[in-house]
Each structure stands twice: as structure tokens, then as C-alpha cells.
């Protein structure tokens, strides 16, 4: 009798003989194709080979090991940048779930109950999840796409949910299930169907033609895996249907029929939102703090945040994301030039009296039109991908990738040159809004006008002028005005692009070795 045999019970052969050791799962053996195939074959006949169940009954393996073995039939473990993930095949459905997801826990509980007729304890459940985590961490890493992806061959795919992917070629699109990139689970988009008709969307957005052109360019570009993405900022008075338009655009981009929520309470929450959503939608924003403005800039352009992992002293977590973002508010809440240069501010017109429709009626009409609208969106993307390679421009504005895309789809519904004109007017208006609302900007304009189109002085001199300006307005202090020369100089640096758009240049030079640096404002 081999020394490593495991006794079935304490009575020897009379009670049924000897059992061989139970082959516990070795995560390292599953990394190769041979190992994965062996694992599938081993568990395929579990109903006929009950050694694991028998070993559990006799106490040779605990609840955690047995629950892990049961669920292993249905999952493949891997990690995404160190984050443990399982690919679950369950009841003819395939989904990607983080370990610890409630659906995975429910399936573990269900399997354990079905095989043992008793509930899995919290300790057993935790142990099974730990075993899955260990296997995932040791498994090869994968890169998962969210909503949209680009293959190594340059093929674009858009995940519309339930395992279906829209691909493009030859100026048209097709819907299939085969795509060489794995997508994370996301809400389903409306299925493109019928005659492509993007202009039906025009019936649901009360905006000028120029604004609609910018919205279409934003929506189609937001479904592509390129970026950097512009931030769409919808503004309008009460009754301009900002929430309704946000809801419809979110449904087309993210598959959810709500206009969005409030701004995150922390930067960590911002990252969590971006991990689970391709599009970030923020509703009824009344104020945009500088820290949030900076975060939105990084998220739209592409950011990488690193922080200490929870419950560790030395582990580092890295989060990378690039997301299209929509904000709606009554007035323009963008007060910093860096975000304004990345934003499209579109003003919605108020609904005329007598043209209001009930929400249920509007929702039903949009749902009827959504398949054709989505088909129109995909058709424009298909044509834009063809035109993109042969579209050139002598001079592209800021957000050049987005502008290049807008030029590629321009000929679909609009005249050549219309986008650049609309884009530049939009940015000029945003720059004017920022300067008109900025106390320092008002002082600079007053100084230039009062001194024949040119003013020169140090940051300290400018700070004195700002103080006099506030006193004239009856404000001894103002929260948005810097109180030190250095911070005032930095504020002027942020205003420089907007001043240039309004015809004022900013230059700095040091006169003499010991003197302070002089700031010069001059009208062009």
C-alpha cells in the first residue's frame, strides 16, 4: 500500500478500502492550453466521477475547496492589470465579472446548495473567492475593452451588448459575434435596424443647425476608440429639455436611459465611474471646482492615476482611462481655459409654448426611432472611417483628432468648411464667457483700453490694480481672485489663450538683472 494513499475512514479495507489522494486544482497547470483542456475534460464528467463530492463528504476537502471546484467548471480566471476577473459561462450566457461580484457569489451559493443540500457558510464562500483570486492573479493578464476597441490590424469594433459587435468595412457596417478583442460587460445599445436615418435625432434636440452638427460629431467620435474626446457641455434655461437630450444621447452612447448623476464626491469615485462606464454623464451641474475641472480634462484626454492599494502598505494600483463626457447645466460652468479649449458648449433653445410633449409620449416615440437613428450613427461612422484616411486640413484647431474626424464626416450632411467655422465660433464664445466672468480678465481689458492699447507692469502692480477694481465694485475680497503676485501671474498664464482669442497678446520679460519680470498686455 502506497504511503501517500488517503484512508477512506478509520476502519481500513473492511469499511470500503482505500481512496487515492484527491487531486486538488493546480492553478499553474491551467495557464497552458493543455492545462485548460485537461481542466475542462476533468470537470466535464464530474457527474460520473464523484471523487470530489465523496472527498468533501468524508472531510478530506473543506467547503471552500469544494465550492471552488464546483464553480471552476464554469469560469476561466485571468487578471486585468492585476485586478482578478473571471470569464463566466452560465446558462448559455458568457460574462466577465470581477471576483467578488454578487452574481458570481450567487452562482457559487447555488452550486454548493445543489450538490450538498445545505448553505455555504461565509467562511467557505470567502475561501472559495480567495482560491479564485489566487488563480486569477497567477494567470496571464488580459486587456479588456469597454464599448469600443481597435484591433492590431486597425479594425474598429463597437460592442452593442449581448455578445454582438458592430464592425465596419467598405463604407458599411455589419453586426456579428466574432471579434478578436474581449469586451467588458456593458449595457446594450439600441440595435441598428431599418433605413439609416440620423436626422430623426434632430427632431428630439431643440438646437440650431450649427449646434446639432457639433453634437453629431461628438456622438460619433465618442463611439470610436481613438480620442482624445471633447467634453460636450449642454446649457439652456429652464424648459430647454437639457435632461431629455442628455438622456437620449446617453442611451445611444452608453445604453442607459437616465440623464446622469451628480459630480463624484472624490477623485477615487471618478475613477470607479470610469471603470464601469464608457461615457460619463453629469446632470444639473451648478458649479465646477478647479480639481474636478482638472480631472475632467485628464479623463477626456487620457489619464493615468496611481495610488496605494487598499489594505496594503506597498502595493500600487494604476488606473488608466479616456472617456467621452457630457455635462448639462443652466449656465456655462466652465471657468478654466484648459477645459474650455477641450469643450463644446452647445446652447439648447427653450421649447415653445404649446409644443410640450409628455415624457411617456416622447420616450415611446424615441424608442420607435432609436433603431433607425442608431443605424444612421453607424453608417456615418462607416463612411467617416473610409474618408478619414484621405481627409486633410491645412490647419487643424485644438483637439485635432476630433476635428479631423468631424471633417471626415462633414460631407455627409453639411457643406465643406462648416465644421471648422462652427468649432472656432464655439471656442471664441467660450473664451469670451470666461473673460467676462473673470475679475482679472476684466481688469486687463480695462488697463489696455485706458492706456492706449498697451499696459506693462509687474505682477505686484497688476495685483494693486485688481484690488482697486474690487474696491470700486464694493468687494474687499473675492474668492476667485488670487491674493499673491505669484498666484496672480499663474492665473494670467491660464487666461493667455483666451486673451489672445479676444485680440490681446501677453508677453513677459525681465528688465535689468535685479528687477522683477514685467508683464505686457497689448492689443493686436
- The stretches of 337-438 forming alpha helices (DSSP H) are 337-340, 359-388, 400-413, 418-437
The DSSP code for 13 is: G
Sign of CA dihedral 374, 255, 268, 82: negative
Percent of residues, the chain, with pLDDT higher than 90: 52
DSSP per position, 148-211: EEE-TT--EEEEEETTEEEEEETTEEEEES--SSPBPP-PPPPPP-SS--GGGGGGG----HHH
d(CA 470, CA 464): 10
d(CA 247, CA 212): 16
Is 277 within 8 Å of 303 (Cβ atoms)?
Answer: no
User: Of 100, 182, 95, 94, which Cα lies nearest the Cα of 136?
Assistant: 100
- Residue 209 buriedness (CB in 10 A; 0-12 / 13-18 / 19+): exposed
DSSP per position, 463-484: HHHHHHHHHHTT-S--TTS--S
Q: What is the pLDDT of residues 451-475, one digit of tens each?
A: 999 999 999 999 998 888 888 876 6
What pLDDT does 50 receive?
A: 57
Strand arrangement of the beta sheet that strand 148-150 belongs to = 148-150, 156-161, 164-169, 172-176
d(CA 455, CA 81): 54
d(CA 186, CA 74): 21
Give Cα 1 distance to the centre of its chain. Answer: 62
d(CA 356, CA 362): 10
What pLDDT does 477 receive?
A: 60
Please, what is the average pLDDT of the chain?
84
Question: Strands 343-347 and 454-457, how do they pair?
Answer: unpaired
Instruction: Please report how many Cα atoms fall inside a 13 Å half-sphere around the Cα of residue 162, on the Cβ side.
Output: 6
d(CA 114, CA 479): 64
Q: Does 115 or 51 have the greater pLDDT score? A: 115
- Residue 164 buriedness (CB in 10 A; 0-12 / 13-18 / 19+): middle
d(CA 325, CA 40): 43
What pLDDT does 15 receive?
A: 33
Query: Is 39 a residue whose pLDDT tops 70?
Result: no
Domain boundaries in the chain?
A: 6-138, 198-416, 438-523
What residues contact residue 325 under an 8 Å CB cut-off, 6+ apart?
229, 231, 232, 279, 280, 281, 282, 296, 299, 300
CATH number for 198-416 (one of 3.90.25, 1.10.540, 3.40.50, 1.10.3470): it is: 3.40.50
What pLDDT does 259 receive?
A: 85
d(CA 288, CA 290): 6
- Residue 263 buriedness (CB in 10 A; 0-12 / 13-18 / 19+): buried
Mean pLDDT of 164-177: 94
The Cβ of residue 229 has, within 10 Å, a number of other Cβ atoms equal to 24
What pLDDT does 1 receive?
A: 37
Query: Is 40 a residue whose pLDDT tops 50?
Result: no
d(CA 224, CA 158): 8
- The stretches of 200-326 forming alpha helices (DSSP H) are 209-222, 242-254, 267-276, 290-301
What pLDDT does 476 receive?
A: 58
- Cα→Cα distances 455→449, 464, 523, 524, Å: 9, 14, 9, 13
Question: pLDDT band for position 444 (50/70/90)?
Answer: very high
Query: Is 225 a residue whose pLDDT tops 70?
Result: yes
What pLDDT does 168 receive?
A: 96
Mean pLDDT of 117-123: 94
Q: Does 1 or 458 have the greater pLDDT score? A: 458
Backbone region of residue 25 per phi and psi (left: phi > 0; alpha: psi in -120 to 50; beta: other values): beta
Q: Which CATH architecture has domain 438-523?
A: Alpha-Beta Complex (3.90)
Question: pLDDT band for position 512 (50/70/90)?
Answer: low
Question: Highest mean pLDDT range out of 123-127, 316-320, 470-474?
Answer: 123-127
Q: What is the pLDDT of residues 362-390, one digit of tens each?
A: 999 999 999 999 999 999 999 999 999 88
Q: What is the pLDDT of residues 49-101, one digit of tens each?
A: 457 777 777 677 899 999 999 999 999 999 887 789 999 988 887 788 889 89
Is 133 within 8 Å of 99 (Cβ atoms)?
Answer: yes
Dihedral angle over CA of 130, 133, 135, 140, nearest 10: -170
Percent of residues, the chain, with pLDDT higher than 70: 85
Q: What is the pLDDT of residues 270-296, one digit of tens each?
A: 888 888 899 999 999 999 988 999 999
Stated as kind and residue range, the H or E segment containing 133 is helix 122-138
- Cα→Cα distances 81→85, 139, 140, 316, 466, Å: 10, 11, 10, 11, 50
Is 363 within 8 Å of 519 (Cβ atoms)?
Answer: no
Minimum mean pLDDT among 108-112, 311-315, 316-320: which range?
311-315
Q: Does 161 or 22 have the greater pLDDT score? A: 161
Strand arrangement of the beta sheet that strand 517-523 belongs to = 454-457, 517-523, 504-510
Q: What is the pLDDT of residues 248-273, one digit of tens each?
A: 999 999 999 888 888 988 888 888 88
Amino acid at each position: 500500500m502506497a504511503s501517500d494513499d488517503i484512508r477512506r475512514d478509520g476502519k481500513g479495507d473492511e469499511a470500503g478500502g482505500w481512496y487515492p489522494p484527491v487531486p486538488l486544482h493546480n492553478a499553474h497547470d491551467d495557464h497552458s492550453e493543455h492545462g485548460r483542456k485537461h481542466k475542462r475534460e476533468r470537470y466535464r464528467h464530474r457527474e460520473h466521477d464523484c471523487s470530489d463530492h465523496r472527498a468533501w463528504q468524508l472531510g478530506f476537502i473543506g467547503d471552500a475547496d469544494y465550492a471552488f471546484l464546483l464553480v471552476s467548471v464554469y469560469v476561466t480566471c485571468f487578471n486585468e492589470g492585476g485586478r482578478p476577473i473571471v470569464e463566466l459561462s452560465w446558462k448559455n450566457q458568457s460574462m466577465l465579472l470581477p471576483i467578488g461580484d454578487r452574481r458570481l457569489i450567487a452562482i457559487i451559493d447555488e452550486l454548493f446548495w445543489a450538490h450538498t443540500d445545505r448553505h455555504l457558510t461565509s467562511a467557505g464562500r470567502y475561501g472559495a473567492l480567495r482560491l479564485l483570486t489566487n488563480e486569477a492573479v497567477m494567470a496571464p493578464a488580459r486587456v479588456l475593452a469597454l464599448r469600443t476597441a481597435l484591433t492590431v490590424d486597425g479594425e474598429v469594433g463597437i460592442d452593442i451588448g449581448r455578445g454582438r459587435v458592430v464592425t465596419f468595412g467598405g463604407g458599411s457596417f455589419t453586426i456579428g459575434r466574432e471579434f478578436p478583442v474581449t469586451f467588458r460587460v456593458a449595457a446594450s445599445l439600441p440595435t441598428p435596424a431599418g433605413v439609416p436615418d440620423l436626422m430623426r435625432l434632430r427632431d428630439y434636440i431643440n438646437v440650431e443647425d450649427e449646434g446639432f452638427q457639433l453634437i453629431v460629431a461628438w456622438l460619433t467620435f465618442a463611439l470610436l476608440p481613438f480620442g482624445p474626446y471633447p467634453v460636450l457641455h449642454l446649457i439652456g434655461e429652464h424648459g430647454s429639455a437639457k435632461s431629455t437630450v442628455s438622456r437620449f444621447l446617453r442611451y445611444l452612447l452608453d445604453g442607459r436611459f437616465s440623464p446622469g448623476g451628480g459630480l463624484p464626491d472624490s477623485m477615487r469615485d471618478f475613477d470607479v465611474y470610469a471603470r464601469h462606464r464608457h461615457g460619463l454623464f453629469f446632470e444639473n451641474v451648478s458649479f465646477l471646482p478647479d480639481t474636478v475641472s482638472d480631472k475632467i480634462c485628464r479623463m477626456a484626454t487620457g489619464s493615468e492615476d496611481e495610488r496605494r492599494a487598499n489594505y496594503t502598505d506597498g502595493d500600487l494600483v494604476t488606473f488608466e482611462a479616456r472617456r467621452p463626457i457630457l455635462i448639462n447645466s443652466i449656465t456655462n460652468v466652465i471657468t478654466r481655459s484648459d477645459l474650455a479649449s477641450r469643450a463644446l458648449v452647445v446652447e439648447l433653445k427653450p421649447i415653445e409654448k404649446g409644443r410640450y410633449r409628455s415624457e411617456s409620449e416622447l420616450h415611446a416615440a424615441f424608442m420607435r426611432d432609436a433603431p433607425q437613428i442608431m443605424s444612421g450613427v453607424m453608417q456615418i461612422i462607416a463612411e467617416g472611417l473610409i474618408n478619414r484616411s484621405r481627409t486633410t486640413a491645412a490647419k487643424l484647431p485644438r483637439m485635432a483628432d476630433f476635428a479631423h474626424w468631424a471633417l471626415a464626416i462633414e460631407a455627409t450632411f453639411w457643406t465643406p468648411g462648416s465644421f471648422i467655422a462652427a468649432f472656432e465660433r464655439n471656442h471664441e464664445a467660450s473664451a469670451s464667457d470666461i473673460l467676462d466672468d473673470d475679475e482679472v480678465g476684466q481688469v486687463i481689458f480695462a488697463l489696455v483700453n485706458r492706456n492706449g492699447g498697451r499696459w506693462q507692469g509687474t505682477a505686484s502692480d497688476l495685483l494693486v490694480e485688481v484690488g482697486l477694481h474690487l474696491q470700486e465694485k464694493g468687494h474687499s475680497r473675492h474668492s476667485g481672485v488670487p491674493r499673491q503676485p505669484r498666484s496672480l501671474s499663474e492665473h494670467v498664464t491660464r487666461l493667455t489663450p483666451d486673451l489672445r482669442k479676444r485680440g490681446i497678446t501677453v508677453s513677459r520679460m525681465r528688465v535689468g538683472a535685479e528687477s522683477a519680470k514685467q508683464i505686457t498686455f497689448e492689443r493686436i
